Structure 1
Amino acid sequence: MSMFWFVLHQLAEYESTMATSKKVITKEEWEKKLNGVIIRKEDMNRLVMNFLVTEGYVEAAEKFQMESGTKPEIDLATITDRMAVKKAVQCGNVEDAIEKVNDLNPEILDTNPELFFHLQQQRLIELIRQGRIEEALEFAQEELAPRGEENQAFLEELERTVALLVFEDASTCPVKELLDISHRLKTASEVNAAILTSQSHEKDPKLPSLLKMLIWAQNLLDEKAAYPHINNLSTGQLEDPPV
């Protein structure tokens, strides 16, 4: 991300000059300065590998390791297991996901009561989705209610979830979003992050964070100078500064 560090450098430079008017920098000048920023290829490769590992692209990570010689920070075999857990939650197979997590590392759920509650909550939602009302009520009473008595936040979430049982038509329920697939994805992401943390790995890839920081740095520099921007992050093309 040489562009990010370069923008920060330029921002510091213009802060120090305390210019009262914006300096205009042409695309040619900007590219010439940018070419002077040296970023090691090894660092860029590690950034790419970090993204592939964190997002779970195991096949791409294996190929990238062969082509670039970049070693991943964790055993690539664990990615397959982690993605199996994530997929199980995304498909609504919460019991299977819990078993897989415990196979990976029992301490993940033992030391994270909030995550375990959210998995159990998702399991309750799936029972309600399937119309297994009696089983859902029994599960809520036996598995979730005791945890709600110990934690006010859990109790409030349980009450919201049980509200789904009150409405025959889920589309009229004020908490109908719990039945959306997006809620499954949210729970799956939470499990994925917990597994990564247990493996001493960042729960979020570095690349998206750097891109957000690039946008932030450009916005700050806008106050000091008119210069070529990267407006389309997917292409990374520099666009001429506004006149």
Structure 2
Amino acid sequence: MATSKKVITRGEWEKRLNDVKIRKEDMNKLVMNFLVTEGYVEAAEKFRIESGTEPDIDLATITDRMAVKKAVQSGNIEDAIEKVNDLNPEILDTNPQLFFHLQQQRLIELIRHHKVEEALEFAHEELAPRGEENYGFLDELERTMTLLAFEDVENCPLGELVDMSQRLKTASEVNAAILTSQSHEKDPKLPSLLKMLIWAQNELDEKLAYPRIKIVSTAALEDPDV
């Protein structure tokens, strides 16, 4: 089928791509940023030695940060809070929303293990006062407490609260807060660049027929349908 778009051949497109010069040092920094932000401490250390690229934070702090993340993902919220305070007590002191979400996760874990009386007492003593100060917190608390109305919390209408995804969400929030406290970006740059690539290709699709990357993981160019 004929197209009115301008067609760029593979040879011409590859020449244009090759004309773009990207320093190896910049690529290495991008890789190191991803490894550090996502917490791959062993890979970051090996990459530092092999490439000579220095991370912008102490790699030892990654181990501590990952220990907090693992504690949240395992449902050990008290341990996670203790570890965060050992890292930097100001993180929770200056972030009431994060502290509430950690306490909310602790309440969810009590409900998950059917510790009803303990859950009620914890909600009354620790979370209700915060809900009185913030209506957003109060709504989240009421939603969480609704879990107590169901015998099978995993298959109830609010089952997502006891799903692993909720732990991961809380762990991600804690991870971001720790990175911010260390003056580091809370999100790696690489995924943002990949999103930009997809956006740019979608924009070009309106005007050109060109070899495009359809599978980001392989970065292989596929000829246009013209």
| TM-score after normalising by structure 1 | 0.90
Q: Give the superposition deviation at 1:33.
A: 1.3
2:152 maps to 169
SS of alignment partner, residue 61 of structure 1: helix
What are the within-5 Å matches in structure 2 for residues 47-58 of structure 1?
47-58=30-41
SS of alignment partner, residue 220 of structure 1: helix
Structure 1 counterpart of 2:8, one-letter code = I
1:205 maps to 188
What are the within-5 Å matches in structure 2 for residues 31-42 of structure 1?
31-42=14-25
Q: Measure, in 2, the Cα distance between the counterparts of 1:123 and 1:33.
A: 54
**Contact preservation (8 Å) 2:154, 2:160:** no
Q: Measure, in 2, the Cα distance between the counterparts of 1:206 and 1:43.
A: 12
The equivalent position to 1:107 in structure 2, one of 86, 90, 101, is 90
Structure 2 counterpart of 1:157, one-letter code = E
Moved more, 90-99 or 171-180: 171-180
Are positions 1:219 and 2:202 aligned together?
Answer: yes
- Cα 1:171–1:196 shift into 2, 3 Å: closer
Structure 2 counterpart of 1:115, one-letter code = L
Are positions 1:72 and 2:55 aligned together?
Answer: yes
Are positions 1:235 and 2:218 aligned together?
Answer: yes
1:28 maps to 11
SS of alignment partner, residue 197 of structure 1: helix
Structure 2 counterpart of 1:104, one-letter code = L
Q: Give the superposition deviation at 1:195.
A: 0.3
Are positions 1:62 and 2:60 aligned together?
Answer: no
SS of alignment partner, residue 156 of structure 1: helix
Q: Measure, in 2, the Cα distance between the counterparts of 1:241 and 1:76.
A: 44
What are the within-5 Å matches in structure 2 for residues 61-140 of structure 1?
61-140=44-123
Q: Deviations over 1:140-192 (max 9, x none)?
A: 00000000000000000000011111112224532121010110000000000
Q: Measure, in 2, the Cα distance between the counterparts of 1:74 and 1:163.
A: 42
Higher relative contact order structure (alpha carbons within 8 Å, sequence separation ≥ 6):
1
Are positions 1:143 and 2:126 aligned together?
Answer: yes
2:163 maps to 180
Structure 2, unpaired ranges of 5+: none
- Cα 1:47–1:171 shift into 2, 3 Å: closer
Structure 2 counterpart of 1:32, one-letter code = K
SS of alignment partner, residue 174 of structure 1: coil
Where has structure 1 moved over 4 Å in runs of 4 or more? none
Structure 1 counterpart of 2:165, one-letter code = S
Structure 1, unpaired ranges of 5+: 1-20
Q: Measure, in 2, the Cα distance between the counterparts of 1:172 and 1:22.
A: 52
